[in-house]
Structure 1
Amino acid sequence: MHEQIEAGTVRVFIALAPPDDAKDELAQALRPAYDAYPHMRWNRIEDWHITLAFLGELPRQAVSLLQPPLAELAAAHHPLRLSLHGSGHFDERVLWSGIGGDLHGLRLLADEVRALVEEHGITLPDRPLNPHLTLARARRDDTSSVVRAAAGLSAFTGRTWQAARLHLVGSNYGRGPGPIRYRDIESWPFNSA
């Protein structure tokens, strides 16, 4: 899929996305938490992703210039075998699912993505990759819900799947105000040969 890039800016990141059946498996395990904590801000299942590099707000022209080298990078990599498992939280406000499988390969891919982005003049914060999939956020006055939801999901172990594509994603891409929504600007298959 290739989206037309218009003038202006867009918030972008580069990510991997679990396949629908892996997301459905996790959503089923989350059912008790959905019911127990409806007041948490749950991310839409179609927006679940594993961020490799958050680029922030960029001119759309800069995003266009990244597309060909990202396509080449994807074509040079084989799919990664990953899984979703366990859970935790950041600062008792953000609920996440952990990532298992080829974490070494995931870190190498993230390093290559970051290097490519920086070669194109985009500065990234220097922070280590902490592979996770963000599920929900709590209000500042209700952090105990995130802690309890993380504990309830801590034993989850999902099936292994292949990350088959590299995604360049825009947040609220082509939308007005409202909840954050993500949309592929473009995605590229990894080399499955």
Structure 2
Amino acid sequence: MDDHPEPPTLRVFVALAPPDDAKDELARALQPAYAGYPQLRWNRIEDWHITLAFLGELPATAVPLLRTALAGAAASHPALLLGLRGGGHFDQRLLWSGIDGDLDGLHLLAADVRELVRSCGIEFRDRVLHPHLTLARSRRDDATSVPRAAAGLTGFTGRPWRTERLHLVGSNIGRGPGPIRYRDIEAWRFGATVRTRGDDAFTGL
């Protein structure tokens, strides 16, 4: 008997993940912020991701449909040349690093992913895509730490890297106290060679 059966619903999203060396590069740039703002709720480095479509709470029975659709999306799209650059915040409470590089390709991929999800009969809130990497969140009574930490990332420019896989990710957000944890449900390699647009792909935020 399975002591840990799959829950009847899953909170899921579709995402990209930077490679380890790109994440390590950003983590080094964040050292002053880690030391200066320990009260922020910092995301684990291994959980850093770029969300393409947040699908919310879905029945577990939807996952096989998503697997088929997303495998096709990955196979039909090229790898993208992206990079991490600078920092910013949403509503003074969520700290992020920006995404640079082939943003046209990134938006095309996200649009295709969302259309394929809808073709599976899955309804979700189709938010406007603002490509970013979420780093930390502040407490409700702290309106200064996140903007200050974002200012410390102004000059950060990470090295370019290729997207390797399209990820279907599950999270335990809303399932109890403690930090958010993520796990890959499945990931698929992109099927074509990397898009190359030259140095002008990295134009800043």
Q: Structure 2 length normalisation: TM-score?
A: 0.88
Amino-acid identity (%): 69
Post-superposition offset of 1:126: 3.3
Distance 2:108 2:64 in 1: 24
**CA distance change for structure 1 residues 56 and 19 in 2, over 3 Å: closer, same or farther?**
same
Q: Secondary structure at the match of 1:63?
A: helix
| Greater Cα shift, 60-69 or 156-165 | 60-69
Matched letter for residue 136 of structure 1: A
| Greater Cα shift, 164-173 or 42-51 | 164-173
Structure 1 segments unaligned to the other structure (5+ residues) = none
Q: Secondary structure at the match of 1:147?
A: helix
Structural mapping, 1:13-32, within 5 Å: 13-32=13-32
Show the counterpart of 2:187: 187
Q: Structure 1 length normalisation: TM-score?
A: 0.93
Show the counterpart of 1:132: 132
Distance 1:141 1:128 in 2: 27
Query: Are 2:63 and 1:72 equivalent residues in the alignment?
Result: no
Query: Are 2:117 and 1:107 equivalent residues in the alignment?
Result: no
CA contact (8 A) 2:53 2:126 kept: no
Post-superposition offset of 1:155: 1.1
Post-superposition offset of 1:178: 3.1
Matched letter for residue 23 of structure 2: K
Matched letter for residue 98 of structure 1: G
Q: Deviations over 1:42-75 (max 9, x none)?
A: 0000000000000000001101221012111101
Pairwise CA RMSD of aligned residues? 1.7
Distance 1:176 1:95 in 2: 23
Post-superposition offset of 1:176: 6.8
Show the counterpart of 1:47: 47
The aligned length equals 189
CA contact (8 A) 1:84 1:159 kept: yes
Structure 2 segments unaligned to the other structure (5+ residues) = 194-205
Post-superposition offset of 1:6: 3.0
Post-superposition offset of 1:192: 4.0
Distance 2:41 2:178 in 1: 13
